[in-house]
Structure 1
Amino acid sequence: MRARKGIFITGGGSGIGRAMAQHFAAQGWMVGISDLNQQGMDETKALLPDGQCKTYKFDVTDREAWDEALKDFTLVTGGQLHVLANNAGLPSGGPLTEVTHEEMDLLLDVNLRAVFYGAKAAFPYLKAAAPGSCLLNTASAAAIYGMANQSVYGATKAGVRSMTESLEAEWSHLGIKVRSIMPSFIDTPLLQNPPNRSRNTPIRDSVVKAGLEFTPVEEVAQEAWNAVHGDKVHTLVGKTARKMGFIGKFFPGVLRKRARTLAKAHEDSEGRPARS
């Protein structure tokens, strides 16, 4: 009997992760989701057909928890994992001088170190499902060019982009695809939080004030499906991401100027960092 196709999605309690879960479940896939938010996972599970979702509450920086979750999930997929969606991540921003060491360490741990943990834990199950299995990493348009007030976040996502390219080269001969999606701003619950402890204004308010567009999570989920089944290593998602990709390739000086403009926008007339 052919193994049932399965996808394991981190950060599946809301936003992009939830949309991915719905999209793949609609195609008949078995879905595993992880999150620290049990209520959010329960809500996601309730949106999927009965018997098509298993939930796992754990911290993605916990290596042993990764092993336990994937071992249990693959019991229902014949010991195989067709897609690992390394999607869990934290937003953060603000000048580096405002970001605390604790905030910086947490962002590096969740957005980058945990992505490597997921890749290593999933590898034997992806190999068992090859050819055609896929490690799918959620990077960001922030990885295209470093912007002011995104130094740590952008660095983590650039790291994810680089890791994707390296593993694509390492694992391709095994029949394992390694892909990334690089969305621009997505209107998820995470954007209701301020960029760091020094500020009170939600990230979403800053995006709206800047006149930037939000990409619907349904579009991201569709592009995730396309990435898993296509040949492109990186998939830019949303108008802003595609525009940045084009400018970054042909007119990088424009992005450099934009980065400096954003930096100046965060300073008051005396040159001090602006406060919300």
Structure 2
Amino acid sequence: MSTRKAIFITGGGSGIGRAIAEYFGGRGWFVGLGDIDAAGMQETQARIGNGFTFAHRFDVRDRVAWDTALDAFAMASGGRIDVLANNAGIPLGGTLDTNTTEEIERCLDINLKGVLFGAQAALPHLKKTAPGSCLLNTASAAGIYGTGGASVYSATKFGVRAVTEALDAEWAEYGINVRDLMPGFIDTPLIDKTPNQGSNESIRSRVLEGGLEITPPLAVAQAAWDAVHGDKLHTLVGKTAHRAAFASRWMPGRMRKMARASKRPLGN
């Protein structure tokens, strides 16, 4: 088995996934990328530029494709996977009555089923590099308190948080660490998309209109490094996430009023 540590990152073709890839790659790790965007992954590889990268195009909704991707990466990395970053995800905003069946199913399948499938596929690989190997899930500030105007997205991110907590218990006996990141609004291509098919206003516009901050991807990458090497189960990233966590715990009544007043998404 190689001595160079290895991380496989879904959604590695852009945004948070790319930032995590660059951060770990810059610290000597072998970096594997999974995405449906082949061109994006090639750009990420070029930005890392150290020769220790691997890219595999696949859809996280496909359980069999997960096994193929991780087996191929393990072979390329010298037989090891130390971290799986379950990062691939899509936004979905709008009130529930305006979300189409297709939108709801796609968001659930990518954001939640994709994370579960990734965990299943990664387990045998992470057992080999335990103790100290890690499953790192990308949750969201929208997994702290349900967000009006983003009910489906919030449900998926609450689900990711629950998966993290459940697997932290299940996998403790193997010496595998399970962690998640809970970012607020991050400056990635996702934030420039419209929240749903029926909208022509970008998420970024709504965030700025609401007076909320947009956090640079580097902050999430640094948080990912700290999460992998630390002992926090949930890592909050950005002021929005910290405010939501504080208010939901210590001022639930105020949080409820704020949520009713804003109806704006809190997630990354």
- Equivalent in the alignment of 1:269: none
Residue 167 of structure 1 is matched in structure 2 by: 167
In structure 1, distance between residues paired with 2:229 and 2:163:
20
Q: Note if contact 2:10-2:86 (Cα within 8 Å) is conserved in structure 1.
A: yes
> How many Å apart are 1:146 and its aligned residue?
0.5
In structure 2, what residue type is equivalent to 1:160? Answer: V
Q: CA deviation at 1:37?
A: 1.1
What are the within-5 Å matches in structure 2 for residues 1-276 of structure 1? 2-263=2-263
Q: Secondary structure at the match of 2:97?
A: coil
- SS, match of residue 182 in structure 1: strand
How far apart in 1 are the matches of 2:239 and 2:115? 26
User: Matched residues in 1 for 2:201 and 2:212: separation?
Assistant: 16
Of structures 1 and 2, the larger Rg is shown by 1
CA distance, structure 1, for counterparts of residue 91 and residue 184 of structure 2: 12
Q: Is the 8 A contact 2:93 2:195 kept in 1?
A: yes
Once the two structures are superposed, residues 66-118 of structure 1 have per-residue CA deviations (whole angstroms, 9 ceiling, x without a partner) of: 11111011013332210000000001101001000000000000000010000
When the two structures are superposed, what TM-score results if normalisation uses the length of structure 2?
0.96
SS in 1 for 2:196: coil
Matches of 1:255 and 1:228, distance apart in 2: 30
Q: SS of the counterpart of 1:81? A: coil
State the shift of 1:2 in Å. 4.8
SS of structure 1 residue aligned to 2:171: helix
Equivalent in the alignment of 1:272: none
**Moved >3 Å (runs of 4+):** none
How far apart are 1:262 and its partner, in Å? 2.1
Segments of 5+ residues of structure 2 without an aligned counterpart are none
RMSD: 1.3
Please report how far the alpha carbon of residue 260 of structure 1 lies from its aligned counterpart in structure 2 after TM superposition: 0.9
Give secondary structure in 1 for the equivalent of 2:8: strand
Moved more, 131-140 or 44-53: 44-53
How far apart are 1:193 and its partner, in Å? 1.3
Structure 1: tracts of 5 or more residues without a match? 267-276
Q: After superposition, what is the alpha-carbon deviation per residue over 1:35-88, rounded to whole angstroms, capped at 9, x for unaligned?
A: 111111111010113321111111110111111111011013332210000000
**Secondary structure at the residue paired with 1:142?**
helix
- Is the Cα–Cα contact under 8 Å of residues 2 and 80 in structure 2 kept in the other structure? no
Percent identity reads 56
TM-score normalised by the chain length of structure 1: 0.93
CA distance in 2, matches of 1:111, 1:28: 29
